Amino acid sequence: MPGLAPRSQDRHPFHVTNLQLHQTHDPGFLLSSWERLARAAGLRSKVLTRLGGEKILFLESPGTASPVYLSSGIHGDEVAAAWGLLAWAEENQKRLSQGRFLIFPCMNPHGFRQNTRTDYRGLDINRRFHLARDPLTGPWRRLIRQSPPSLGLCLHEDYDSQGCYVYELGGQDARLASRCLAASASHLPTDPRKQIDGRRARHGIIHRKTIPQNLTGIPEAVALWQLGCATTLTFETPSEAGFQERVQAHARFIAEALS
């Protein structure tokens, strides 16, 4: 089977080394790629915890400065986000070596393998980030408290979206989210709806300066913000679009956010 390497460097400038189509739901391939990249870029590869027989890996730059936080793979049926993050990282090893990053490539390896939103317990992890005693989000909260990130990018996909959109929480740079969406629009259009997920949207951006009421649980981005991260962007691509375009949109989004 041919790999997913781009036919045209212009059209698909980001790609993951040796990724084959049948491996897009293989957390083992994803995490071994990250471990190899971490060694090359001088990042520390650490195990947050072990759950359901699987390690929850994260990567961390040495140093004490406030990190940039990057995460994907919370929902296992949103795999292009995880490969987009890896594709961006493979193109930006020098950046990874020189900056300070905290990266969670896949918090839900069971769901990633099974193509399910929920984790090995049948739970939606992204409604549990307020729980200090949860075996996953408890250790995560302790880690974030030690050194709150300056910027958080949480990468997701949405099966019924009509294009790419962003939840922005906090936000010191009012134009950051729109710049990032403009970059991703070179591969996938921006969601035109004025209401997304029951919330008011403008040009694909759902902006919040306060924590939304009526949440059924606390998502990662909100917990990051509560724990001191000034700006979080949650990026969503339409999961019914083509895989390669979704990967490119995520990588473009990250590249612009960190430019």
Residue 92 or 220 with smaller CB distance to Zn ion: 220
Other beta carbons less than 10 A from residue 217's beta carbon:
15
Rounded-to-5 percentages of helix, strand, coil across the chain: 35, 25, 45
Q: Report residue 102 as tokens.
A: 């905290």
Long-range contacts of 51-55 (CB under 8 A, 24+ apart): 51/119, 51/120, 51/135, 51/136, 52/110, 52/119, 52/120, 52/121, 54/27, 54/109, 54/110, 54/120, 55/31
Nearer to Zn ion, 96 or 140 (CB): 140
Shortest distance in whole angstroms from residue 103 CB to Zn ion: 17
Nearer to Zn ion, 37 or 181 (CB): 181
Closest distance to Zn ion from the beta carbon of 158 (Å): 7
* Nearest-approach distance from CB 151 to Zn ion, in angstroms: 19
Find the residue with minimal CB distance to Zn ion. Answer: 156
Q: Compare residues 173 and 197 and give the one whose CB is closer to Zn ion.
A: 197
What is the closest distance, in whole angstroms, from the C-beta atom of residue 256 to Zn ion in the complex?
20
Residue 248 CB neighbours (<10 A): 26
Residues whose CB is less than 8 angstroms from the CB of residue 101 and which lie 6 or more positions away in sequence, other chains included: 43, 59, 60, 61, 67, 68, 69, 70
In the complex, the smallest distance separating the C-beta of residue 159 from Zn ion, rounded to whole angstroms, is 10
Nearer Cβ to Zn ion, position 37 or 86? Answer: 86
| Complex with Zn ion: residue 75 or 128, whichever CB lies closer | 75
List interacting residues with Zn ion (CB under 5 A).
75, 78, 156
Cα–chain center distance at 81: 6
- Distance, in Å, from the CA atom of 61 to the CA atom of 51, rounded to the nearest integer, reads 24
What's the closest the beta carbon of residue 148 comes to Zn ion, in angstroms? 22
